[in-house]
Amino acid sequence: MGSPDVMNGSSPLSRRFTVTEAARTLFLKVGVLPFFLVGALIIFSLVSGNFLSVQNLTNVARQSVYLILVSLGQMIVLITGGFDLAVGTAIALTSVVSALAMVALAAAMPEYVWLAIILGCLAGLGAALAIGCLNGIGVAQFGVSPFIMTLGVQSVGAGTALFLTGGVPVSRLPYAFGNVFGFGRVFGMPVPVIIAVVAIIAIWLVMNRTRLGAHIYAVGGNTKAAHLSGVNTKRVLFLAYVICALLASLAGLLLTARVESGETNLGGSVALESIAACVIAGVSLRGGIGRVESVVLGAFFIVLVQNGMNIAQIGSYLQMVLLGSLLILAVIFDQFRYRMLVGRA
């Protein structure tokens, strides 16, 4: 540092060195998300000046509530070393069941609209609970691979939802439901955002400050070791799928309120999107690794990219192509990261 000519000679080089070094450390620590996020922000703000406006970003934040909720559940399951392809079905079934129940109850007792809404929501949550229990029992008790189990349940749930409605959307929900949970605001904050914030805090506490959370990480990190340490691994796996389904169900209720009808096609692509959000946010597909705050950002990133592509007028078919590619790319980077991590140890 002392002699000036040495500094002049080496400073550009050493600065470049420290930048790549810092990027490397960041990549090892957080994964690919920061790089993707910066890339997306640069590209889309070049495409449109509107992209970085406060209004657009608030909009993205509000739209990403649903994916954030589902991704949090997906994260929990991924950390145990599995995954859940049935999150979309949990949303669809929640939507249909809660809507049917609400319409029927509101017709039966028009003077107690809020009771009908609450019972309807509970019915929707109950339906998703059944999905989660099914997944949990299959994976934890019978040892079915998560891929097959949730793929099967996904079909079971989707079929049930279509069967219940005959494929027709359930309309004429109580006005108050959509008005509060879809479009309502409290202290200027949209209700879905408030609910998402509460859910994020709750899940953060569960994962970082409770026994269940510690055990979820342990089961994913090394199931056998967790078992030998006296962790009830079956119970942990079961609960992971149940929590995942319930979080998806919560997203389903909010979406139903937003579109003001019970729809079987809600959440069609959410399984892919939520897994992508998690992987990009550094959740390891090998289990054991993943952070709540990163996953929230990961889900936000996915919605941001979709929003950017809409602004850039990229068609929805092409968007599917890009989203799938992004997921694969993130997994490839995850492999590199894993190798770098292991290589250093």
Partner 1 sequence: MSEAPLVEMTGITKEFPGVKALSNVDFRLERGEVHVLFGENGAGKSTLISILSGVYRPTSGTVRIEGKDVEFRSVQEARDSGIGTVFQEFSLVPTLSVFENVHLGKEPRRGLLVDRRAMARSTETLFRDLGFDIDIRTPVARLSRAQQQMVEIAKALQARARVLILDEPTASLTEKETEKLFSFIRHARDSGVGIIYISHRIQEFAEIADQISVLRDGRMIGTVAAKEVSEKTLVELMTGRAIDKVYPQIRRQPDGETLLSLEGIHAGGVNGVDIDVRAGEVLGVAGLVGSGKSRVWRSVLGLQPLKAGSVTMRGRDVTGQPTRRLLRSGIFYLPPDRKSEGLLLAASARDNIRLSLLERRDLAGLLGMPSPARSRAEADAIGARVDLAPSALPRAVATLSGGNQQKVLFGKGFGEERLVYIFDEPTVGVDMGTRSQLYLLIRDLAEAGKAVVVISSDLPEVMNLSHRLLVFSGGRISAELAGADISEGTVLRHFFNETRIPA
Tell me the C-alpha to C-alpha distance, in Å, between residue 266 and each of 169, 193, 214, 261, 269: 10, 19, 33, 10, 9
- Residue 26: CB minimum distance to partner 1, A: 18
Binding of partner 1 at residue 115 (CB under 8 A)?
Answer: no
Nearer to partner 1, 172 or 286 (CB): 286
Q: Which residues contact 6 (CB under 8 A, 6 or more apart)?
A: none
Closest by CA to 192, choosing from 334, 68, 15, is: 68
Q: Which stretch binds partner 1 (CB under 8 A): 9-17, 26-34, 204-212, 245-253?
A: 204-212
- Residue 222: CB minimum distance to partner 1, A: 5
Q: Alpha-carbon dihedral of residues 70, 71, 77, 82, nearest 10 degrees?
A: 110
Nearer to partner 1, 47 or 285 (CB): 285
Tell me the C-alpha to C-alpha distance, in Å, between residue 336 and each of 38, 325, 329, 341: 20, 17, 11, 9
Nearer to partner 1, 28 or 104 (CB): 28
- Residue 212: CB minimum distance to partner 1, A: 9
Q: Which of residues 153-192 bind partner 1 (CB under 8 A)?
A: none
Nearer to partner 1, 1 or 224 (CB): 224
- Residue 24: CB minimum distance to partner 1, A: 17
Nearer to partner 1, 44 or 238 (CB): 238
Q: Alpha-carbon dihedral of residues 305, 311, 314, 316, nearest 10 degrees?
A: 70
Binding of partner 1 at residue 288 (CB under 8 A)?
Answer: yes
Nearer to partner 1, 63 or 222 (CB): 222
The SS3 call for residue 208 is helix
Q: Which residues contact 321 (CB under 8 A, 6 or more apart)?
A: none
Give me the amino acid identity at 190.
P
Q: Which of residues 206-265 bind partner 1 (CB under 8 A)?
A: 209-211, 213-215, 217-218, 220-222, 224-232
Nearer to partner 1, 58 or 335 (CB): 335
Q: Which member of 205, 312, 320, 332 binds partner 1 (CB under 8 A)?
A: 205
Total of chain residues touching partner 1, rule CB under 8 A: 25
Q: Which residues contact 55 (CB under 8 A, 6 or more apart)?
A: none
Q: Which of residues 289-308 bind partner 1 (CB under 8 A)?
A: 289
The Cα 161–Cα 192 span in angstroms is 24
The Cα 202–Cα 243 span in angstroms is 12
Helix, strand counts (H, E) of the chain:
14, 2
Nearer to partner 1, 214 or 323 (CB): 214
Q: Which stretch binds partner 1 (CB under 8 A): 150-158, 202-210, 270-278, 330-338?
A: 202-210
Binding of partner 1 at residue 56 (CB under 8 A)?
Answer: no
HSE of 151 in the Cβ direction (CA atoms, 13 Å)? Answer: 5
- Residue 55: CB minimum distance to partner 1, A: 39
What residues does 170 pair with on adjacent strands? 262
Q: At what angle do helices 113-136 and 146-165 cross, to 10 degrees?
A: 150
Give the binding site for partner 1 (CB under 8 A): 205, 209-211, 213-215, 217-218, 220-222, 224-232, 288-289, 343, 345
